[in-house]
């Protein structure tokens, strides 16, 4: 992206470079206007203050190569423009890479690290990788994981790869499977859950996702992997990708995920904490898809972190 030499508090003209065509204008602006609240970005779009080739565009407009984007004067906190990621976090992320080629980067995201900055966080995984790889200017998250969820996370290295992967996601051609340790016993071996989820409802002042007929369709397929005395290890396959979907569906079944402070059982969480569970037991174990015109699937697996392996071993004993 070629920017004018004007400061962010003045009018900014940006030319869309080759490789960035096809990106939604809202995502384009969020990347340029570091430190600017997301709500403000959408406000200036709705008001028509952002122009593309001198014309107004809707939030969902996809930019084309060579488009000239006019961005109105915006105040950006200097310290938020380029968040600095600590050396320890950068080393941790470098070590978490499980696959990389010219199109894609796959990592086993650590629990406790957000995938992107915002909501009081100066950086996340994507900001860290942009700092690690300053020459790779097209790095983008393909999908998201909750901050406390670990496991397989895809980052595209080219806009063309991102478009393909998003199309595969829309056509449900990406198979994502998770491991979840839930409180309570399962009597059957599997369950297919299809109940709608409503995002950002209030419960005691806290924003949560709830089962609600007004919500969006959400489907999860659960299968028992292993049974323990007072809990069950499940495999969860996402058929849709709603916020907190596995966590809310597991709680809806009466077997909430252990370590879940938002939707879980406090007494069960406390008991498992005493056994060594210090985090949410939800792990994106594998992801599988096939690139168009290729004959073999791409299959990636992220191992459980040592603390979770040790916990399962102790419960077997």
Please report, in tens digits, the pLDDT of each residue of the chain (317 residues total).
Answer: 444 434 445 788 888 877 777 788 888 888 788 778 878 888 899 889 999 998 998 888 888 888 999 999 876 554 444 456 778 888 888 999 999 999 999 999 999 988 887 655 567 898 889 888 888 888 999 999 999 999 999 999 998 899 899 999 989 999 999 999 999 999 899 999 999 999 887 776 678 999 999 999 999 999 999 999 899 999 999 999 899 999 999 999 999 999 999 999 999 999 999 999 999 999 999 999 999 989 999 999 999 999 999 999 999 87
Same domain as 177, residue 91: no
CA distances from 261 to 137, 208, 256, 316 (A): 37, 12, 10, 25
Question: Of 147, 143, 142, 162, which Cα lies nearest the Cα of 109?
Answer: 147
Which of 23, 45, 76 finishes a domain?
A: 76
Which of 76, 98, 116 finishes a domain?
A: 76
Alpha-carbon span 69 to 1, nearest angstrom? 10
pTM: 0.77
CATH number at residue 122: 3.30.2350.10
Helix (H, G, I), strand (E, B) or coil at 160: helix
Alpha-carbon span 280 to 131, nearest angstrom? 28
Structural domain boundaries enclosing 296 = 173-316
Same domain as 69, residue 89: no
Catalytic residue among 146, 148, 260, 265: 146
> What is the count of structural domains for the chain?
3
Same domain as 132, residue 15: no
Same domain as 16, residue 96: no
Which of 137, 168, 199 finishes a domain?
A: 168
Same domain as 276, residue 146: no
297 is catalytic: no
Alpha-carbon span 27 to 209, nearest angstrom? 24
Same domain as 106, residue 21: no
């Amino acid at each position: 992206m070629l920017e004018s030499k004007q400061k962010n508090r003045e009018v900014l003209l940006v030319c869309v470079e080759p490789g960035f065509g096809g990106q939604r204008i809202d995502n384009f602006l969020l990347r340029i206007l570091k430190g600017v609240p997301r709500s403000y970005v959408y406000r200036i779009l709705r008001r028509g203050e952002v122009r593309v080739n001198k014309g107004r565009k809707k939030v969902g407009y996809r930019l084309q190569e060579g488009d000239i984007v006019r961005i109105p004067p915006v105040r950006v906190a200097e310290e938020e423009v380029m968040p600095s990621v600590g050396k320890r976090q950068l080393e941790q992320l470098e070590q978490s890479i499980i696959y990389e080629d010219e199109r894609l980067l796959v990592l086993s995201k650590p629990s406790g690290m957000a995938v992107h900055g915002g909501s009081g966080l100066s950086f996340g995984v994507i900001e860290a990788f942009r700092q690690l790889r300053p020459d790779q200017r097209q790095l983008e998250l393909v999908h998201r994981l909750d901050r406390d969820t670990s496991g397989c996370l895809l980052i595209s290295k080219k806009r063309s790869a991102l478009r393909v992967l998003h199309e595969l996601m829309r056509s449900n051609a990406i198979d994502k499977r998770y491991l979840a340790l839930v409180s309570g016993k399962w009597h059957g071996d599997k369950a297919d859950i299809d109940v709608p989820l409503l995002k950002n409802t209030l419960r005691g002042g806290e924003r949560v996702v709830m089962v609600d007929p007004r919500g969006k369709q959400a489907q999860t397929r659960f299968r028992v992997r292993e049974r323990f005395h007072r809990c069950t290890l499940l495999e969860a396959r996402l058929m849709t990708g709603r916020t907190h979907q596995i966590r809310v569906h597991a709680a809806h079944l009466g077997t909430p995920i252990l370590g879940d402070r938002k939707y879980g059982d406090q007494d069960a969480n406390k008991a498992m904490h005493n056994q060594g569970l210090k985090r949410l037991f939800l792990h994106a174990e594998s992801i599988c898809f096939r690139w168009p015109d290729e004959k073999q699937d791409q299959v990636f697996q992220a191992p459980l972190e040592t603390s979770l392996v040790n916990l399962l071993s102790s419960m077997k004993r």
